[in-house]
Amino acid sequence: MTTTITITGAGGQIGYALLFRIAAGDLLGPDEKVRLRLLEIPQGLGAAEGAALELQDGAFGLLEDVEATDDAAVGFDGCDLALLVGARPRGPGMERGDLLAANGGIFGPQGRAIAENAAAGVRVTVVGNPANTNALIAAASAEGVPAERFSALTRLDENRARAQLAQTLGMPVGTVRRVPIWGNHSATQFPDISHATVAGLPASEALAKIVGDVPAWLEQTFIPRVAKRGAEIIQVRGSSSVASAASATIDHVRDWVLGTDDWTSAGVVSHGEYGVPEGLISSFPVRSVEGRWRIVEGLDIDDWARARIDASVAELVEEREAVRALGLL
C-alpha cells in the first residue's frame, strides 16, 4: 500500500525535520510506502524543491514519489494525510493568538482545496499556530469533510508535560502515562496530572514525597513550565521549536492512523463533551480507535480543574469570535 501525505510549509524548519523521518518510516512503519506532496508558497518553493532533491538522495526504500508545488489543487490531490504546518511562527514577546490575523487566512483556502482534491478518507493535522483555531477554520471551509477528520497538535505539550513530570520524579519518561492537555495550544492550556500514573502507580502520591505541596507545585512550577515552554524555547534558541514539534507531529499522526493503547492528547472537535461548546477544536484526553479520535469520557473533574479548563476554553471562544470578525469563519 502507498499513503499520499501532503506537508504544507515543507520548505520551512518543521517541514525539513518532518520529511526525512516520514520517508524513513517513522510515521507509518516499515511496510507502508509513502508518496510526498510538498506544498509551499512561491517564496518557499525553492527550499521545498531542495528538500525533494535531498529526499531522492536519501534513497529511502519506502519513498515512492515526491513532488513540490505551490498549487494547492496539485498539493492536496489524492492526499490521505494532510499535515498543515505552513504558517508564520511567533517571535519573542508574542502569544500564539497574535498570529491569528497573519495565519488564519491560510487555512480557509486550504480547507476548500482539501475538500475538492483530497482522498475521501483524508485526515488533517494542523500544526501552524494558533493551531486549534486554524483547524477550526480549515474544518469549517472543507465542505463535505466531517470535522472529526481535522485535529490540532497538542501532543508537543503532552510530551513536555510527561518529560517534566518524569524529570521531577527521577523516572524514565516511558513510565509516565495519562497526562492529558485540555483546551488551547497556548499559555492557558491545562496539563492535567490528576489521572497520571508512574510505573503504574498514581503520580500524585509519588510527587507528594518529592515536592511536598503538590497543588502549589502544580500552580507555581509545573503548569507554567509546560504552558510557557514554547516561549522558553524561543527565548533560549532564538526561534520556535522545530525538531520536538516535528517529533510530536509524527507521534500524533502515527497514533491517529495506527491506534493507541492508552490516552493521549489532541485538539479535536467538541460535541459538548465536558461542557466544551460544540464545534470548538479543543484539546482533550483521547484514544485513537479504528482510525478515529475518541474523547475519553466520564472522568472526574474537580472545581480547580474545571476552572482551568473553562479559562482555556474561554480563550478558544474568543479566538473563534476574532476570526469571525476577520471574516475567516
Residues in contact with ligand LMR, shown as a per-residue x/- string from 228 to 247 under the rule CB under 6 A: --x--x------xx---x--
**Residues in contact with 97: Cβ distance below 8 Å, sequence separation at least 6, in sequence order:** 130, 133, 186, 315, 319, 322
Handedness of CA 255, 261, 267, 271 (dihedral sign): positive
The piece of 54-62, 121-129, 193-201, 220-228 that touches ligand NAD (CB under 6 A) is 121-129
Q: Is 229 in the site for ligand NAD (CB under 6 A)?
A: no
Q: Residue 179 CB, nearest distance to ligand LMR (Å)?
A: 16
Nearer to ligand LMR, 17 or 156 (CB): 156
Binding ligand NAD (rule: CB under 6 A), the pick from 6, 40, 69, 178 is: 40
What distances in angstroms separate CA 194 from CA 49, 157, 282, 304, 306, one per listed residue? 46, 16, 19, 11, 12
Q: Which of 37, 162, 185, 252 binds ligand NAD (CB under 6 A)?
A: 185
Would you call 208 helix, strand, or coil by DSSP?
helix
Piece in contact with ligand LMR (CB under 6 A), picked from 13-21, 88-96, 188-196, 318-326: 88-96
Give the Cα separation of 20 and 13 in Å (integer).
12
| Minimum CB distance to ligand NAD smaller for 15 or for 206 | 15
Query: How many angstroms separate the CA atoms of 263 and 180, rounded?
Result: 7
**Cβ–Cβ < 8 Å for 87, 95:** no
Q: What is the phi/psi pair of residue 97, to 5°?
A: -60, -25
Ligand-binding site membership of 134 (annotated): no
Containing H/E element for 304? helix 303-325
Which residues are catalytically annotated? 185
Q: Does 158 bind ligand NAD (CB under 6 A)?
A: no
Interacting residue ranges for ligand NAD, rule: CB under 6 A: 8-9, 11-15, 39-41, 43-44, 85-90, 106, 127-129, 131, 153, 156, 185, 240-242, 245
Q: Which residues are annotated as a binding site?
A: 9-15, 90, 96, 103, 110, 127-129, 160
